[in-house]
Amino acid sequence: MTRSLNEPRVLDLARRAALSAAVPAIGGALALTTLVMLAVGVNPADAYPALIRGAVADGNLEYTIAAFVPTLGMALAFALPLRAGEFNLGGDGQMAAGGIAAAALALAVPLPPVLAVVLPLLVAALAGGLVAALAAPLSTRLRVPAIVGTLLISAPAVSLASYLVRFPLAEQGSGIAQTPVLPDAAHLPALGGSGYVTLGLPLVVALTGIWLYADGRTVLGYEMRARGHNPEFARYGGVHVDRLAGYALAGGGAFAGLVGGLIVLGPPYRFVDGALTAPGYTFTAVAAVLLAASRPLAVPVAVALLTVLQVGGQGMEREAGVPSQLTQIVQGLIIVIVAVLATVRRRAAE
């Protein structure tokens, strides 16, 4: 009955990966993308190499890695509550709240080194967590699904951050809506002389590891998954399901807030209005998590893949003149195909 941890397990994993929804989903999405390209008169033979070059060649790899960090963070922001059965689509607002909170603290309070980085990040996580947690009582007490609640709360949060950066926290004399540059002590150290990649990378990777452990091997993770699978079962088992929804959303929001903080504390070391939400980390992350199809270990892999697609898309736009919105199309298609495959497979299993 017990399976050995040796070779067969590895083979089994490989087989399951190949048969999982991810491979046909990506394949299907790429096929449809190619069709879209052909339909609008773009030569895929030009576009795809441009996409790959845009993601990995000529120093672009560094930029791709830099984009991987916030995307992975936002993937955790979506995946953590999802495991407990709550959809967090309000990542933008939580991220903006975190970013503006971190910037405000770093600008207002002169802090000694190390603390000048750590405290703003903590405050960012706190701010993001609070914004997300607002949706929890809406969901558990008032039966407003979190998918709606988080999204509705997100928009005013983004507006509030935008207001703060334009007025109370604005850099005087600049035409751009941005804060002044943060004090040097609050700059996240760059990694190995890189211009973009900071200490945020190991931090987010470590947090991902902690999440994976907590999800699979702790009581909290078990109870969250039980709630996600069947809330009535969890309630029957004595789990405090409502409290858990609050923890899950707050936890997700904290990741999103932290991502906002990491962006602000990284180059160009200030909060620029719209710079957090414009790259679309939130929905790239949503697509990646859904692509991973409730296999937590696959989340970082899916994030890496979609980040390459996202960054490469900009290269494709520069080189081949294909609008980078193509990557959004691909992400949307991936999500739809994953959803369809999930049901088709479940029905085939029955």
Partner 1 sequence: MNIFELSFLSGVLTATAPVLLAALGGLICQVAGVFNIALEGQLLWGAFTAVVVSDVTGSAWTGVAGAIAATVLFSGMLSAASVGLRADPIVVAVGLNLLALGLTGFLMRRIFGSGGTYSSPELAGLPTLAELGLDVPVLGPQSPLVPLALALVVAAAWWLGRTRSGLRVRAVGQHREAAEAAGLRVGAYRHGVVLVAGALCGLAGAQLALGNVTLFSEGMSAGRGWIAVVAVMLSGVLPYRLLLACLLFGFAEAVGFRLQGARLPQQAADAAPYVITLFALVLAAVAARRRPKEAS
Partner 2 sequence: MSVPAAELVGVSKRFGPVLANDGIDLAVARGEVHAVVGENGAGKSTLMSILYGLHRPDSGHVLRAGERIRLRSPADGIRHGLGMVHQRFRLFPGLTVAENIVIGAEPVARGRVDQETAHRAVADLSAKYGLRADPAAQVGGLPVGVRQRVEILRALYRQAEVLILDEPTAVLTPAEAGRLFEVLRTVAATGVAILLVTHKLTEVLAASDRVTVLRQGRVTGRFATADTSADELVHAMIGRSLAAPEPRRRSKPDGDPALAVRDLTVHDADGVPRLSGVSFAVRPGEIVGIAGVAGSGQRELLDTVTGLRSPGRTGQVLLDGAPVVQGRDPRVAYVPEDRHGRATAPEMSLAENLLMGEQHRLATRFGLPRKTVRARAEQLTERFAISAASVDVPITALSGGNAQKAVLARELTRQSRVIVVEEPTQGVDVGVRERVHALLVAARDQGGAILLQSSELSELRELSDRVLVLFEGRLVAEFDADATEERLGQAMTGVLP
Q: Could you list the residues that contact partner 2 (CB under 8 A)?
A: 1-3, 213-214, 216-219, 221-223, 225-226, 229-230, 232-238, 240, 350
Give residues with Cβ within 8 angstroms of 56, minimum separation 6.
Answer: 64, 308, 312
Our CB check for partner 1 shows the closer of 159 and 230 to be 159
| Contact partner at residue 243 from partner 2, partner 1, none, CB < 5 to 8 Å by partner kind | none
| Footprint (CB under 8 A) of partner 1, residues 140-159 | 141-144, 147-148, 151-153, 155-156, 159
Q: Are 273 and 177 a contacting pair, CB within 8 Å?
A: yes
335 is a site residue for partner 1 (CB under 8 A): yes
Indicate the angle between helix axes 22-39 and 281-292, nearest 10 degrees: 130
Nearest to 124 by CA among 64, 60, 182, 63: 182
Minimum distance of partner 2 from residue 288's CB (angstroms): 22
Our CB check for partner 2 shows the closer of 2 and 6 to be 2
Nearest to 277 by CA among 54, 70, 66: 70
Give residues with Cβ within 8 angstroms of 118, minimum separation 6.
Answer: none
Q: How many CA atoms lie within 13 A of 249 on its CB side?
A: 30
Q: Are 329 and 33 a contacting pair, CB within 8 Å?
A: yes
| Contact partner at residue 259 from partner 1, partner 2, none, CB < 5 to 8 Å by partner kind | none
275 is a site residue for partner 1 (CB under 8 A): no
| Contact partner at residue 88 from partner 1, partner 2, none, CB < 5 to 8 Å by partner kind | none
Minimum distance of partner 1 from residue 251's CB (angstroms): 20
| Contact partner at residue 232 from partner 2, partner 1, none, CB < 5 to 8 Å by partner kind | partner 2
229 is a site residue for partner 1 (CB under 8 A): no
Radius of gyration, CA atoms only, the chain: 21
Show the site string, 167-186: x = touches partner 1 by CB under 8 A, - = not: x-------------------
Nearest to 75 by CA among 55, 96, 54, 95: 95
Our CB check for partner 2 shows the closer of 223 and 317 to be 223
Name the one range near partner 1 by CB under 8 A: 197-205, 213-221, 249-257, 280-288. Answer: 280-288
Q: What would the two tokens of residue 49 be?
A: 């190499």
Our CB check for partner 2 shows the closer of 150 and 208 to be 208
Q: Are 179 and 117 a contacting pair, CB within 8 Å?
A: no
**Rounded distance between C-alpha atoms, residue 123 and residue 82, angstroms:** 24
Interface ranges with partner 1 (CB under 8 A): 36, 40, 87, 89, 138, 141-144, 147-148, 151-153, 155-156, 159-160, 162-163, 166-167, 283, 286-287, 290, 323, 325-336, 338-340, 342-344, 347
